[in-house]
Structure 1
Amino acid sequence: MRVGILGTGGMADALGTQWRRAGHEVVTGGRPGGLRRAAEHGADAVLLAVPYEAAVDVAGGLADVLRGRVLIDCTNPVGPDFGLLTAGGPAAAERIAAAAPDAHVVKGFNLCHVGVWRLTPPVFDGRPLAVPLCGDEEAALSVVRRLVRDLGCVPLDAGGLDRAGLLEATAALLIRLWLGEGADAQAISPPPAYAMG
């Protein structure tokens, strides 16, 4: 696949490196000219890997190039004291979709620190990492599922884009538990046999 990555930070580097290893043709770009080149290259998918504070403007500024493309939003609108910057309003992914209305937005890759995406593959105690995805279009989700599997992970259907806010809130909670409390956040979720009663 041809993947464009908007941004040059840790997430862009980690995911881009892994997708290159999987055989995909990846172009990463930052700042206006590089962002546009990366978006134009991403014929199959474009990863939005800029800080949330810039994400809506970046997507809106490239809306013409993103028309008809799969746009993966991995941003987290987490602010001071681990609060959601989008509280009381649309989720980050929904704001991005509104800014680039002809793109096929999928929320994903937002629950893990960049260090996890550098693992080859991210497997813990014999279990591959599961990656929840929110999106409204099956064709777009199919593309992103392949990119998840190419990392050695398992894609999970987390619902439509209207549920992306739940993924973003989950990220805010996990970040607070990990960083604020030093807690083992994985311990909050029992195995399915027990969770279902």
Structure 2
Amino acid sequence: MRIGVLGAGSMADVLGTRWVEAGHEVMVAGRTEAKARALARKWGARSGTFREAAEFGDVALLAVLYQGVPATLAAIGDAVRGKPVLDCTNPVEVGNFTLVTEPGVSMAQHIAHVTGGHVVKAFNLCHARVWEMDPPEFDGRRLVVPHCGDDPVALDLASRLIRDTGCEPLPVGGLRHAHHLEGMAAVMISLLFGGLDPRSAFNLVRADDRVDND
């Protein structure tokens, strides 16, 4: 699979690393070209402009700070129209740890509206240090990754890429639920700023994995 990674920060690094290891072909773009080139060399991949990376991918990962989303969307234009887009951004200001989006409207929905892409909200609830774990497991159980979207093909693709990181996908509904995932991230980010170990910040367990203590 060809993946266009839009962003060259820590989340782009850890997810891109996993996907290259899984055999996917990746092109990375970043606001700082030298940083994107360094990531590409690390992965044995290619770098390019935001639009080139968006056009290259069968799927795109949007992994930039929320402040950089408008410029990134302007740079890619219509390059992801009709394509799956994984959105791991968190529109959370860290003064009061609140969402910066309009009430009831998620960043993921905004991205879908602007780009025409089939957006799936995913990978937004854990710090990059969690994705660096090899594999991301807690008490022998794989990390569960909640994600949501409206397009079945994009959701299936997201599940595949989640598994390729060593994690377990957990679909939680349509893209309207992205607002709740972003709200959950605001709580998690506040805990991280409060000193919580990122590697213990979010550990979901499926019901059939729970220990029966009765």
Q: 1:15 deviation in Å?
A: 0.5
State which drifts further: 80-89 or 164-173: 80-89
2:36 paired residue number: none
**Does the CA-based 8 Å contact 1:56-1:99 persist in structure 2?**
no
1:58 to 2:72 alignment: yes
**2:196 aligns with one of 173, 182, 188:** 182
| Cα distance change of structure 1 residues 35 and 85 upon mapping to structure 2, 3 Å threshold | same
Partner of 1:19: 19
- State the AA in 2 paired with 1:83: T
Aligned counterpart for 1:153 among listed residues 140, 143, 167: 167
Distance 1:60 1:156 in 2: 31
1:167 match: 181
The residue correspondences of 1:20-169 to structure 2 (distance < 5 A) are: 20-31=20-31, 34-43=49-58, 45-79=59-93, 80-101=95-116, 103-169=117-183
- Structure 1 residue 190: Cα displacement: 8.8
* Identity across the alignment (%): 48
- The secondary structure found in structure 2 opposite 1:76 is coil
The alpha carbon displacement at 1:54 in A equals 1.8
Q: Report deviation, 1:185.
A: 4.9
User: Aligned partners of 1:190 and 1:41: how far apart in 2?
Assistant: 36
CA distance, structure 2, for counterparts of residue 135 and residue 6 of structure 1: 19
Q: TM-score, normalised by structure 1?
A: 0.88
Letter in 2 for 1:2: R
Shift, 1:57, TM fit: 3.7
The Cα shift of 1:53 comes to: 1.5
Q: Is contact 2:61-2:86 (8 Å) kept? A: yes
Aligned length: 191
Greater helix fraction, Structure 1 or Structure 2: 1
Distance 1:117 1:158 in 2: 20
Structure 1 gaps of 5+ residues are none
Aligned mates of 1:35, 1:173 — CA distance in 2:
30
Residues 22 and 150 in structure 1, CA contact (< 8 A), matched pair in contact too: yes
- Tell me the TM-score normalized by structure 2: 0.82
